[in-house]
Chains A and B, each alone.
Chain A
Amino acid sequence: MAKKRIFLSLIRRKSNWCMCLLMAILATLIFTGALIWQASSQSIKELEKTYGSSFKLASYADRSNPDLWEYKVFDENYSATIYIGPRVSLEMLERISGEIDGIANYEWENKEDLMNNHILLVQMGFQLVPGFSASTAKIEEENYKQWKKGAISDQDWQTYYERYYKDSKYDIYDTVAYGLNNSQYSTHFRNGTFRLVSGRHISPSDYHVAMVTPTFAKLNGLKIGDTIPLMVSPLNASTSFASGVLGTVDAVIIGMFEPTYEQPVNEYTSERDILNNWILIDLKTCSEMEKISGWSGETSLATIYVDDPSMTGDIMEQVKRLDWLDKHYYGVEKDDSSYHEAAAPIRTLRLAMGAGIAILAASGAALMYLILKHSIGRRERETGILMALGITGKSIKRQLLTENLILGVIAFLFAVGIANAAAPMLGDSLLHTLSPKEEMREYTKEEIDAAIAREDYEAYTKMTSPQTKGIEAPDTLSVHTSPFSILVTGFGMAILICLCVNEAMEKTLRLEPSRILSMIA
């Protein structure tokens, strides 16, 4: 009869279902918050791995030491004082990663962009996604025709047009190659700007390999396994618009990558700023091509990634203590500003969820206790009758506990279902609110012309530069329900129900049934 009493009470007492609904609402809120909290924690860990687990090794450009500087004339148009002191070489990085445990990767990259490790290419005979140079080439071609027709004088042609016409023949082949040691772990793949489409990533042991975009491959009839000649542009050496190819390095295409977003491209976008024109190469080849262009083949800044973010400080100290590393010329600096920048909104979200869960759990527990106490109090008469009939207090307590646990299970299952559906949307929505992303947009010719007209070169640069994702918090939180979180939340709820029922029943069971009956008579 005890089981029947539980069954009858559950199905006949409407107040039970109100209790169940309240439990379901509370459990849904708490569980949703818990899922978002968990996803935030996981996201922070992943961000830490992407951005927070690295430090910089840079060479000092000590201007007070003249031995480190040399005045160099590149051509009749360009000369500069350049740093000739010690730099960070590939051999140095290889030696560091060999001598110190815990180093996952190193790159010649500045986190904000890839400018530290690029080689300018002039890919003669290759098709590129057309941009600014293609538009300019048409203008120069028209000027050439005008000169041939005699509309432009020979003097004017030589003074104002000829050089640009010659340069335009090369400008349309302008693109860049970026050197990466381990492309899979480089910033732009880890932050989601690029993704691997086919083939494989560049690895540290590779030499003379390249990755291209499917767009570039299609334009030039290339596929994985083909050899592509990488033509070093003299623009690496100077800022003048010299023409020609300084040297060529053949690389085998091992993989294809693509940007994960649709880059707005207009006629002011330089070909080398169009992501689909980029070529990724291994670091050794990058160093080799740097030497071809007249530079040292080394870098002034390298980023070293570690396996375990918590070990970053320790590993940095080990690098500093290397006796072969001259502290006068090299500096080691933690590089976690980008991590903090990217993680900030997620940390805020996690903190908010944590606080929310704590408040909800505490107030929910209090509310549930009060309602359970009230509900059980309303059943004092029933309790008194049952006790008077000979049913023990223990049995009655067990009945109420079982009833409320069953209601709790139903409520919890409901909560798990709703939370699973709501948490991803809510989490992403909150994340977007906390870290609003600047929309990538395509600027019109009129807008760009207007910026040029008012000499707003900052705006012009922004409008015509590639809008890479850079350092950003992730777009989504990847909310997953783990069996552990279900277990913890469910168990917590069960404990809470048991405590509440126990506490609420205590007073009633201490009373003699006749007292209870007389109270409600």
Chain B
Amino acid sequence: MIQTENLTFYYNESRKILEDVNITFEKGNLYAILGASGCGKSTMLSLLGGLLLPKSGKILYEGENISEYGLDRHRQDHVAFIFQGYNLIEYMTVEENVELTAKQPPQTALQKVGLEKELWKQNVLKLSGGQQQRVAIARALASDKPVLLADEPTGNLDEDSAQAILDILRKSAHEEGRCVIMVTHSLALAAGADEICRYADAKFQHGDYGLSLFTKPENPWETISVIQEEKAGEINA
């Protein structure tokens, strides 16, 4: 659905954040991009979402280069963001925030995320972190876009809320056929994804993970099939 071709990006040429990355994300799957804090995971998300322009290489959506398609249009038509900081419009209510780019009634999306009806007319600043994150997810779901990009969606949440969020994202991918790409530094959260993309220093790093891994050493990104077991905790972030 969405893929990169020799994608390279840097803010400073002496330190490349991404170098010749080739990776594909398909619809109907929940992906977790795992890596150390500040390594460039969010940058990858921004590139996929058309918030940044690659220095070289391409990002293709359904085979079409998004730069040629137009980054504005790509954001408008293909991708929906869920931010770690929620990034809701502060002077609007819950419904009004969801309605911003909604192609379906906001109430539908709000029900999906399980937000209580009494809160819908409230200003978003009056909600808790978990509730605000649900609003942000509802906003993304209501936009009806095929790709969901979630940047640390559970970063500020407790374990129960985080799990609830993960369930919503998984449902969105499996039941609604979306391609959901989630950036996280949480191993536990990553373990809930269908596939994990591990990134470190723009290159793949071998390590003793103690798991069965599918590796492609020449590609700094690799897709790892995770054995959804207790040993997921042994993977170094």
Q: Are A391 and B101 in contact (CB under 8 A)?
A: yes
- Asked if A417 is at the interface (CB within 8 A of a chain B CB), the reply is no
Chain A neighbourhood of B102, CB < 8 A:
1
- In Å, the complex CA distance between A521 and B143 comes to 24
Task: Report the tally of A-B residue pairs with Cβ distances under 8 A.
Answer: 65
Chain A nearest Cβ from B70, distance in angstroms: 9
- In Å, the complex CA distance between A1 and B145 comes to 17
Chain A nearest Cβ from B99, distance in angstroms: 6
Q: CB-defined interface of B200-230 with A at 8 Å, one 1/0 digit per residue?
A: 0000000000000000000000000000000
Interfacial residues of chain B within 81-127, with CB under 8 A of chain A in the complex: 81, 83, 85, 87-92, 96, 99-102
Contact A517-B75, Cβ < 8 Å, known A13-B91, A389-B139, A391-B101: no
Chain A nearest Cβ from B37, distance in angstroms: 13
Q: Are A390 and B143 in contact (CB under 8 A)?
A: yes
Interface residues of B (CB under 8 A from A): 42, 46, 49, 51-53, 72, 75-77, 79-81, 83, 85, 87-92, 96, 99-102, 139, 143, 145
Q: Looking at A4, A5, A388, A392, which has the most chain B CB atoms within 10 Å of its CB? A: A388
Q: Are B92 and A392 in contact (CB under 8 A)?
A: no
Q: Are A391 and B100 in contact (CB under 8 A)?
A: yes
* A9 touches which of B72, B91, B101 (Cβ 8 Å): B91
Chain B neighbourhood of A386, CB < 8 A:
89, 100
6 example contacts (A-B, Cβ-Cβ < 8 A) are as follows A12-B92, A385-B89, A388-B51, A388-B87, A390-B145, A517-B87
Which DSSP category, helix, strand, loop or mixed, fits chain A's interface?
Answer: helix
Q: Are A393 and B52 in contact (CB under 8 A)?
A: no
Q: Are B72 and A390 in contact (CB under 8 A)?
A: yes
Chain A neighbourhood of B96, CB < 8 A:
4, 8
Chain A nearest Cβ from B2, distance in angstroms: 15
Chain A nearest Cβ from B45, distance in angstroms: 9
- In Å, the complex CA distance between A393 and B139 comes to 20
- In Å, the complex CA distance between A9 and B96 comes to 11
Q: Looking at A12, A390, A521, which has the most chain B CB atoms within 10 Å of its CB? A: A390
Interface residues of A (CB under 8 A from B): 1, 4-5, 8-9, 12-13, 381-382, 384-393, 512-514, 517, 521
Chain B neighbourhood of A12, CB < 8 A:
91-92
- In Å, the complex CA distance between A388 and B76 comes to 9
Chain B nearest Cβ from A152, distance in angstroms: 103
Q: Are A382 and B75 in contact (CB under 8 A)?
A: no
Q: Are B81 and A392 in contact (CB under 8 A)?
A: no
Q: Are B83 and A392 in contact (CB under 8 A)?
A: no
Q: Looking at B42, B51, B53, B102, which has the most chain A CB atoms within 10 Å of its CB? A: B51
Q: Are B81 and A388 in contact (CB under 8 A)?
A: yes
* B101 touches which of A384, A390, A514, A521 (Cβ 8 Å): A390
Chain B nearest Cβ from A379, distance in angstroms: 10
A512-B46, A512-B51 given. 9 additional CB < 8 A pairs? A4-B99, A5-B100, A12-B91, A13-B91, A386-B100, A389-B81, A389-B139, A512-B53, A521-B85
* A388 touches which of B53, B75, B90 (Cβ 8 Å): B75
- In Å, the complex CA distance between A4 and B100 comes to 9
- In Å, the complex CA distance between A393 and B145 comes to 20
Query: In chain B, what residue has the closest Cβ to A5?
Result: B100
Contact A8-B92, Cβ < 8 Å, known A512-B51, A513-B51: yes
Chain A neighbourhood of B52, CB < 8 A:
512, 514
Query: In chain A, what residue has the closest Cβ to B86?
Result: A385
Q: Looking at B76, B102, B145, which has the most chain A CB atoms within 10 Å of its CB? A: B76
- In Å, the complex CA distance between A12 and B90 comes to 10
- In Å, the complex CA distance between A514 and B91 comes to 21
Q: 7 tightest CB-CB pairs across the interface, nearest first?
A: A390-B76, A514-B51, A12-B91, A390-B75, A514-B46, A385-B87, A392-B72
* B100 touches which of A13, A389, A512, A517 (Cβ 8 Å): A389
Q: Are A393 and B83 in contact (CB under 8 A)?
A: no
Q: Are A390 and B51 in contact (CB under 8 A)?
A: no
Chain B neighbourhood of A512, CB < 8 A:
46, 51-53
- In Å, the complex CA distance between A381 and B88 comes to 10
Chain B neighbourhood of A13, CB < 8 A:
91
- In Å, the complex CA distance between A384 and B92 comes to 16
- In Å, the complex CA distance between A512 and B72 comes to 10
Query: In chain B, what residue has the closest Cβ to A393?
Result: B72
- In Å, the complex CA distance between A457 and B126 comes to 88
